[in-house]
Amino acid sequence: MRHTKRLILLAALLLLGASVHAADKVKVGFLSTLSGPGAGLGVDIRDGFSLAIKHLNGKLGGLPAEVIVVDDQQKPEVAQQASEKFMKKDKVDFMTGIVFSNIMLAVGQPIFDSKTFFVSANAGPSQYAGDQCNPYFFNVAWQNDNLHEAVGKYVQDKGLKNVVLVAPNYPGGKDAMVGFKRFYKGKVGEEIYTKLGQLDYAAELAQIRSLKPDAVFFFLPGGMGINFVKQFVAAGLSADSQLFAPGFSADEDVIKAVGAPMLGMFNSSHWAHDMENAENKRFVADFQKEYGRLPSLYASQGYDAALLIDGAVRDVKGKLDDKDALRKALEAKRFKSVRGDFKLNTNHYPIQNYYLRVIGRDGQGRVTNKSMGTVFTNHADAYVAQCQMK
């Protein structure tokens, strides 16, 4: 009985004549950190992504979009299980959302092996930019080192001599230190590695105090950064040392929690909410209307990730099974990003500008980021030469 049904189906397919048929909807597996101290990042990416879908009328590339959102709780084993379910049970066409690079590296290979495209809206490990680059991995945000490189250059140009570096001990943190030192050539007083998820920095701050640096460069995304800045100020260290950070530790989520003590802090970013292009204006206005808060750079990345998928699906006219065509469509990056124009490199990471921002008060008196200038123009990551893909 079962066999007869199968034969009929097969005949029908053959009659349709196409070996590759157009899908009737696009399934996206959204796996991100939605709880714990890193939750602010995942929630922003999710909200940015959802806003894009809303702007596209619930469709991606003209096809109805089904987005399944799962929380990885910032745990590799949970992420692994969720990822396996996405691939084997839900059979998603795309996956996106992961915040932390250690999680990305834990789930990456099986996803690529199953020929599912992963469009990273955040995690940009150096491993996937260099020798482990993969045709199924795309990143619309940046390579981990980039924002730190920009800060490194700025600190170097400013002539600061004695800097202490702080980052969590995980692939993203290591990339941060390496990136900063690529452009900062002065003395590094100390490289302090903290534990991922650590909340109390009393010990590290005491250590920093004893080192008496001119500047402290720190990369502590999400709740970690909030606590670090609060405790830094509380310990009286802001009087002697200046704080520098990539945009990750100086965006809306941290500003909302810490507030005025952050005024005057310089940070780097590939996007700012006061950028003048039309797409960004619409994005920022609608995000505030929808969610009641200013978007962070994470939200802009989630938004762009959806647009990248949308453009690619539109290009292949819904034929999601043709993986080669889909890959070429993704590489072509056919959409207008909220951060202005950028291209994708051969390793599928962006080539783009990086800007300097400073935290000040905007027209309405809110404490927020203001664009200050450009640090890098059309900057590519340092690992692309090691990537075999052309």
Partner 1 sequence: MGLYASSQRRRTAAVLTLFALVALPWFLQVIDQAFYVSFASRVLIFALVATSLNLVIGFGGMVSFGHAAFFGAGAYTVAVLAESGVVSAGLAWPMAVVVAALLALLVGAISLRTRGVYFIMITLAFAQMAFYLVVSLKAWGGDDGLPLLRRSSFGNLDLKDDTTFYFIVLSALALALVALDRLAHSRFGRVIQCIRENETRMEALGYPVFSFKLVCFVIGGGLAGLAGALLVNQTGLASPSLLHWMLSGTLMVMIVLGGVGSVFGGVVGAVLLLLCEEFFVEFTTHWPIGLGLVLLAVVLWAPLGIAGLFGWGRNRE
Partner 2 sequence: MIQLILEQALNGLQFGLMLFLLAAGLTLVFGIMDMINLAHGSLYMAGAYLAASATQASGSFMVGIAVAMLGTAILGALLEVTLLRRLYARNHLAQVLATFALILIANEVVRMIWGAQPVLLNAPDELSGPVNIGGFLYPAYRLLIIGVGALVAGLLYVLVTRTRLGMWVRAGASNREMTEALGVNVRLLFTAVFAFGAALCALAGALLGPLLAVQVGMGENILILAFVVIVIGGIGSIRGALVGSLLVGLVDTLGRAALPSLLRMFLSLEVASNLGPALASILIYVLMAAILFWRPEGLFPARA
Size of the residue set binding partner 1 (CB under 8 A): 17
Among 16, 17, 24, 89, binds partner 1 (CB under 8 A): 89
Contact 224, 253 (CB under 8 A): no
Q: How far, CA to CA in Å, does 1 sit from each of 6, 7, 8, 12?
A: 9, 10, 11, 17
d(CA 122, CA 251): 14
Residue 292 interacts with partner 2 (CB under 8 A): yes or no: no
d(CA 93, CA 26): 6
Site for partner 1 in 139-178 (CB under 8 A): 169-170
Closer Cβ to partner 2, 193 or 342, answer by number: 193
Question: Which listed option, partner 2, partner 1, none, makes contact with residue 206 (CB within 5 to 8 Å by class)?
Answer: partner 2
Q: Which stretch binds partner 2 (CB under 8 A): 46-54, 125-133, 142-150, 193-201?
A: 193-201
Residue 195 interacts with partner 2 (CB under 8 A): yes or no: yes
Question: Which listed option, partner 1, partner 2, none, makes contact with residue 89 (CB within 5 to 8 Å by class)?
Answer: partner 1
As measured in angstroms, the least distance from the Cβ of 40 to partner 2 is 6
Q: Which stretch binds partner 1 (CB under 8 A): 12-20, 101-109, 178-186, 244-252?
A: 101-109
Task: Tally the residues of the chain.
Answer: 390
Residue 39 interacts with partner 2 (CB under 8 A): yes or no: yes
Question: Which listed option, partner 2, partner 1, none, makes contact with residue 80 (CB within 5 to 8 Å by class)?
Answer: partner 1
Residue 57 interacts with partner 2 (CB under 8 A): yes or no: no
Closer Cβ to partner 1, 126 or 241, answer by number: 126
How would you write the chain as a 3-class SS string? CHHHHHHHHHHHHHHHCCCCCCCCCEEEEEEECCCCCCHHHHHHHHHHHHHHHHHCCCEECCEEEEEEEEECCCCHHHHHHHHHHHHHHHCCCEEECCCCHHHHHHHHHHHHHCCCEEEECCCCCHHHCCCCCCCCEEECCCCCHHHHHHHHHHHHHHCCCEEEEEEECCHHHHHHHHHHHHHCCCEEEEEEEECCCCCCCHHHHHHHHHHCCCEEEECCCCHHHHHHHHHHHHCCHHHCCEEEEEHHHCCHHHHHHHCHHHCCCEEEECCCCCCCCHHHHHHHHHHHHHHCCCCCHHHHHHHHHHHHHHHHHHHCCCCCCCHHHHHHHHHHCCCCCCCCCCEECCCCCEEEEEEEEEEEECCCCCEEEEEEEEEEEEECCCCHHHCCCC
Give the contact letters, 60-99, x = binds to partner 2 (CB under 8 A), - = no.
Answer: -----------x----------------------------
Size of the residue set binding partner 2 (CB under 8 A): 35
Residue 257 interacts with partner 2 (CB under 8 A): yes or no: yes
Q: How far, CA to CA in Å, does 76 sit from each of 50, 71, 219, 267?
A: 24, 11, 21, 29
Q: Which stretch binds partner 1 (CB under 8 A): 73-81, 203-211, 282-290, 334-342?
A: 73-81
Residue 106 interacts with partner 1 (CB under 8 A): yes or no: yes
* Rg of the Cα atoms in the chain: 22
Question: Which listed option, partner 1, partner 2, none, makes contact with residue 181 (CB within 5 to 8 Å by class)?
Answer: none
Question: Which listed option, partner 1, partner 2, none, makes contact with residue 203 (CB within 5 to 8 Å by class)?
Answer: partner 2
Q: Which stretch binds partner 1 (CB under 8 A): 99-107, 153-161, 172-180, 303-311?
A: 99-107
Site for partner 2 in 142-171 (CB under 8 A): 169
Residue 279 interacts with partner 2 (CB under 8 A): yes or no: no
Among 206, 263, 385, 389, binds partner 2 (CB under 8 A): 206
Which residues contribute to the site for partner 1 (CB under 8 A)? 75-77, 80-81, 84-85, 88-89, 102, 105-106, 110, 169-170, 195-196
Which residues contribute to the site for partner 2 (CB under 8 A)? 34-37, 39-40, 43, 71, 169, 174, 191-195, 199-200, 202-203, 206-207, 209-210, 223, 226-227, 230-231, 233-236, 256-257, 261
